Structure 1
C-alpha cells in the first residue's frame, strides 16, 4: 500500500479504538474502569486478528484480549453470527485469567458480511462468589463462570443469560451498567469503522489489516535480529499472603535466524493452593509486554508485533494454571512475570531495562453494610509501591510497573462507600539506593464509618522479600500490613470489627548501579 494512504488509515483505526475506550470510561459505573482505566479495547479484522488497540489500558487485558477474540469466534462461528449479535465470556482460559474480567466482542457487518470485530475487556465490581481475594479452594468457589455465549442476539438481550447473571451477583445494577458500557462502546466502534470504509470506498479491511500486521511482524523480527543470539537467564522470588514464597525462572532464547524470541518458564514454582495461579494467556500478556517495551515500543501492538514472541511454561507451574485451581488473584503473581525477563535482557540491553520494583499492585476490596443496613461492595482499588530504577533515571514513586492501572482517587472511594482514609503519603526512603535510586512506596491508612462489622479482601506481596537492585544497586524496603498496629495478613477474607483501622506501607523499588 502507498505509505501516505496507509498512515492516514492507520490514524483512523487508532482514533476508532481510542474513542471506543473513552466512551467506555465515560459510561462505565465501576470506579476502577472510570477512574483507574482498568480496561482494554481493540479492533480486529474478519479473521479475529488484533489490528489496533487503544492507548488506554493495562497489558494483562490488552494482550489477552488479542487472544480472546480468536477463542470466542472458534466457539461461535462467524457463519452463526448476524447483525446485532454480541458475544461474551469471562472464562479465565478464554480471556483475561479470572472471572472479574469480562470480555465482550461485537461483530461488525458491512453489506451482509463480517467486516471485523470490536472487543473490550474490563474489570467488573462483582461476579458473585468469594470476591477478589485469594482464599477460594478451587475455581468454582470464585464466582459466576460465563461460557462463550451471545449476550445479545440480533439486537435483543439474551434474557436467559441476563437473568442468570442478575441472580448470581451482589450488585446487578452495577454489573449491567458496565456491560452496557461495553456493548455501547463496541457498537460505536463498529459505526466508526463503517464510516471510515465509506470515506475511502472500502468494502472490507483485508488489505489494510494484512499490510499493518505484515509490517509490524517484519519490523519486530528485524529488531530481534539485531540482538546477540543465545540463551539468557533470569530469576525472581517474592512472598505472597500467608508467607508462601514464589520463584519465577526464565530462559530467554534469541533466535536470529527465525527472528524470534522464546521465553521459557521451566523451573518456576508449582501451582499454589491459594487463588494466585495464572493462566497462560495472562502470562503471555505480561511476558510479551516486557519484551515489546524493551525491544520496539514505538511499533503498533497487534498480531504482527506479538507473533514473533513465543512464551511457554510447563503444565505443573503456577503461571500455567490448569482447571480447577483457583485464579481470582492471578495478578499477584502475573505482574511479576516481567522481572525475570528484565534480568535476562540486562545481559543484552542493560540500558533499556529497570531493576525489580514492588511487583503487583496491592488490591483491596471491602464488603459490608452501611449505616442504614444496605449492602455494599467496593470496586477493587489498587495501591502501588515503588518502581525499580532505570539505567539513566530514578524509579518512579508510588507507580507500579507493569500494570499501568491508576489508583482510584480516595475522594471517589469515600463518596461511593462508607470508608474514611486517615493517611495517604509517599513512604520516603523505601526505595533502594544506587547510582539511580529506586522509587518509594506509599503509606495508606483507612477505616470504615458504617458502624458495622465488615469484610476485607487484601492481597499484598513483598512483605518479607524486598525488590532486588540491579548492577550493584541496593534492594528496596519490603512492605507492611497492619490492623490496629499489629501485623495481620492471610490469603483469605478477613472479618473486621466496626472500629478496626488498617495501615499499610507498600514496598520500594530496587536501585540501579552501585551507590558509590
Structure 2
C-alpha cells in the first residue's frame, strides 16, 4: 500500500477510535470513567486482531482488550453475526482480569458486510458481590459473572441478560448508563469508519489491517534486533493488604536473531488466598507495556507490535492464576508487573528505564447510607504515589504509573456521596534521593458525613517495603494507611464508625543514581 495513503488513512483510524473514547468518557455515568479515564477503546479486524487503539486509556485495559478480541471471534463466528448485534463479557480470564471491567464489542458493518469490530472496556460502578476489595475467598463471591453473550441481538435487547444484570447489582441505573455509553460510542465509531471507507473507495479494512499489522510487527522486530542479545533478570518485592509480601521475578530474554523478547515469571510468588491474583491477560498487558514503552514507544500499539513479545508464567502462580482464584483487586499485584521487567531492562537500556515507584494505585470504595436512609455505593477512586526517577530526570510526584489514570476531583466525590475531605497535599520529601530524585507521594484525609456505620474497601500496598532506588539511588518512603491515627493493613472490608478519620500517605518513588 502506498505510504502516503496509508498515513492518511491511519491518522483517520486513530481519530475515529479516539472520538469513540471521548464520546464514551463524556456520557459515562461512573466518575472513574468520566473523570479518571479508566477505559480502553480499539478497532479490530474480522479476525479479532487489534488494529488501532485510542490515544487515551490504561495499559491494563488496552492490552487486555487486545487479547479479548480473539476470544470474541472464537465465541461468535463472523458469519453468524448480524447488524445490531452487541457482544459482552466480564469473564476475568477472557478479558480484563476482574468482574468490574466489562468489555463490549460491537460488530461494524459496511454496505451489509461485516468489516470488523469496535471494542471498549471500562470499570463499572458496581457488579454486585463483595466489591473492589481483596476479601473474597473465591471468584464466585466477587460479583456477577457475565459469560460471552449478546447484550443486543440484531438491535433488540437481550431481556433475560438485562434482567439478570439489573437484579444482581446495587446501582443498576449507573451500570446500564455506562453500558449504554459503551454501545452508543461504538455505534458512532461504526458510522465514522463507514464514512471513511466511502471516501477512500474501500469495501472493507482487510488490506488496510494487514498492512498496518505487518508493518508494525516488522518495525518492532527490527527494534529488538538492535538490542544486546541475552537473558537479563529483575526482581521486585512489595507488601500487600494483610501484610503478605509478594515477590515477582523475571527473566527477560532478547533474541536478536528472531527479533523477539520473552518474559518469564518463573520463581514468582504462588497464589494468594486474597483477591489480588492476576490472570495472564492482565500480566501480559502490563508486561508488553513495559517493553513497548522502553523499546520504541512511537510505534503503533496493535496486534503486530505486540506479537514479538512473549510472556510466560508457571500455571497457578500469582501472575497466572487459575479458576476459581479471587481476582477483584488484581491491580494490587498486576501494576507491579513492570517493575522487575524494568530492572532487567536496566542492563540493556539504562537510559530508558526508571526506578521502582509506588506501584499499584491505592483504591477506595465506600458503601453506606445517606442521611435520609437511602443506600449509596461509591465508584472506585484511586490515589497514586510517586514515580521512580529516570536517569536524567526526577520522577513525577503523585502520578499513577503504570496505569495512567487520573484522580477523581474531590469536588466530584463530595457531590456524589456524603464524604468530606479535610486534607490533600504532596507528601514532601517522600521521594528517594539520588542523582535524580524519586517523585513524592501525597497525603489524603477524609471522614464521612453520616450518622451510621459505613463500609470501607481500601487497598493499600507498600506500607512496609518502600520502592527501591536504582543504580545507587535511595529508596522512597513506604506508605501509611491510618484510621484515627493508627496504622491499618487489612485485606478485607472494614466496618467504620460515624466520625472515623481516614488518612492515606502514599509511597514516594525510588531515586536513580548516587547523589
* TM-score category, normalised to shorter length: over 0.9
What CA deviation, in whole Å up to 9, does each residue of 1:425-453 have, x standing for no partner? 00000000000000000000010002221
Match in the other structure for 2:336: 336
Q: CA deviation at 1:112?
A: 2.5
Aligned counterparts of 2:64 and 2:110: Cα–Cα separation in 1:
27
CA shift for structure 1 position 257: 1.0
Aligned partner of 1:186 in structure 2 is 186
Could you say which residue in structure 2 is the equivalent of 1:247? 247
1:31 maps onto 2:42 in alignment: no
User: What residue number does 1:77 align with?
Assistant: 77
Pair 1:265-2:265 in alignment = yes
* 2:205 corresponding residue in structure 1: 205
2:474, 2:511 within 8 Å by CA — same for their partners in 1?
Answer: yes
Q: 2:161 corresponds to which residue?
A: 161
**1:135-150 → structure 2 map (5 Å cutoff):** 135-150=135-150
What are the superposed Cα offsets for residues 475-511 of structure 1, whole Å, 9 maximum, x if unpaired? 0000001111111221000000011010110000000
Structure-1-length-normalised TM-score: 0.99
Stretches (4+) displaced over 3 A:
none
RMSD between superposed Cα atoms in Å: 0.5
Which whole-Å CA distance do the structure 2 matches of 1:68 and 1:433 have between them?
42
Number of aligned residue pairs: give it.
515
In structure 2, the partner of 1:111 is 111
| Residue pairs, 1:64-463, within 5 angstroms | 64-463=64-463
What displacement does 1:394 show? 0.2
Cα distance, 1:73 vs. partner? 1.7
Q: Distance in 2 between matches of 1:323 and 1:363?
A: 24
Give distance in 2, aligned partners of 1:305 and 1:289. Answer: 11
* TM-score, length of structure 2 as denominator length: 1.00
For 2:216 and 2:126, how far apart are their aligned partners in 1? 37
**8 Å CA contact retained: 1:357, 1:400:** no
Retained in 2: the 8 A contact 1:371–1:451?
A: yes
CA distance in 2, matches of 1:98, 1:208: 33
Secondary structure of the 1:351 match is coil
3-state DSSP class of the match of 2:193? helix
Q: Which residue number corresponds to residue 487 of structure 2?
A: 487
CA distance in 1, matches of 2:401, 2:260: 25
1:201-248 C-alpha deviation (Å, 9 max, x unpaired): 100111111111111000000000000100000000000011100000
CA shift for structure 1 position 349: 0.2
- Aligned 8 A contact 2:48 2:72 in 1: no
Q: Does the 8 Å CA contact 2:83/2:154 hold for their aligned counterparts?
A: yes
Deviation at 1:69, TM superposition (A): 1.3
Residue segments in structure 1 that go unaligned for 5+ positions in a row: none
Q: CA deviation at 1:77?
A: 1.5
Q: CA deviation at 1:72?
A: 1.3
Measured after TM superposition, the shift of residue 70 of structure 1 is 1.0
Q: Give the equivalent residue in structure 2 for 1:13.
A: 13
